[in-house]
Amino acid sequence: MPPLFEVVYLFSAANGYLAEIRRLDRDVIAHKSEIYQWLWLEDGAAQSLRFVAMASVPTQQRIFREAQLSFDDKRGELRWAAGQPIALTVEESKELPAAIAQLVNLHLS
């Protein structure tokens, strides 16, 4: 089975992963929201984050309905709308552990 996605950004935290993925099973003319998706991966569950906006000054920022993300080349912070912020580390390899990658494939199918 061909892969359903490739990782664009990958962050690790003490309790999970945050990943922006590009779906490989969508037509190139599909809307960006169908091709690019952000996922919070924790405890055997995948949660999609609904993208609202982005900025890049002074750091990269992504705003979702559920949370806000700010990051640079080394670290980031995910701040849930109702909850504690989560410290993130940028994973340069962009390789999810096999069990997490399988979880993403199940989430996307």
pLDDT digits (tens, 9 = 90+) for 76-93: 999 999 888 999 999 999
pLDDT digits (tens, 9 = 90+) for 15-74: 999 999 999 989 888 989 889 999 999 988 999 999 999 999 888 999 999 999 999 999
Domain total in the chain = 1
Distance CA 25, CA 65 (A): 25
Distance CA 63, CA 51 (A): 6
pTM (2 d.p.) = 0.92
Instruction: Look at residue 47 and give its three-state secondary structure.
Output: strand
Return the bridge partners of 25, or none.
Answer: none
Position 68, amino acid:
Q
Position 55, amino acid:
A
